[in-house]
Amino acid sequence: MARNDIKPELIEIVEGPTPEFRPSPQHWNQSIIEGPDDRLVGLCELRTLKGTDIVDRCMMAWDEGRPVKLDYPDDMRMRQQADVVAMRLRQVEEGPLLQLWVSLPFDEEAWLAAQEAEDFDDFDEDDDEDDGFLPF
């Protein structure tokens, strides 16, 4: 089967706002997407009731060598896709929270503005409590 014929596993956002992609406070994930294109890793968090099912489907796709993509509506309600490079399912007070690290085109001006506005106090790179990262 040609590489172009491989069907990606989609995580689809059917309803709701465009996900907010923030600069990732972890630096390990940038090495996953090194290549000829200028890309960065962004983090988005999604509430889901089917988090375990999504993680299982994505793990199976990665085991099969298929890509995983986040399919979401942009601000104009046009469908967009971003490659998922890692994920983690966490339980928070409000319920399951799916954290996705996705590969995004490099836009230096927007990225620097987002980094300046972002408060990384909620994240701890040395957090040993949950090593539930599922990198591609």
pLDDT at 71: 96
Domain count, the chain: 1
The domain of 52 spans: 3-118+131-135
Residue 59's alpha-carbon distances to 20, 67, 87, 133, in angstroms, are 24, 10, 10, 12
Strands 22-23 and 134-135: unpaired
pTM of whole model > 0.75?
Answer: no
Q: Are 26 and 99 in contact (CB under 8 A)?
A: no
Whether 124 is covered by a domain: the verdict is no
pLDDT tens over the chain, length 136 residues: 445 678 999 999 988 888 998 877 766 655 566 665 667 888 999 999 899 999 999 999 999 999 999 999 988 989 999 999 999 999 999 999 999 999 887 765 666 665 666 554 444 444 444 455 555 4
Whether 61 is covered by a domain: the verdict is yes
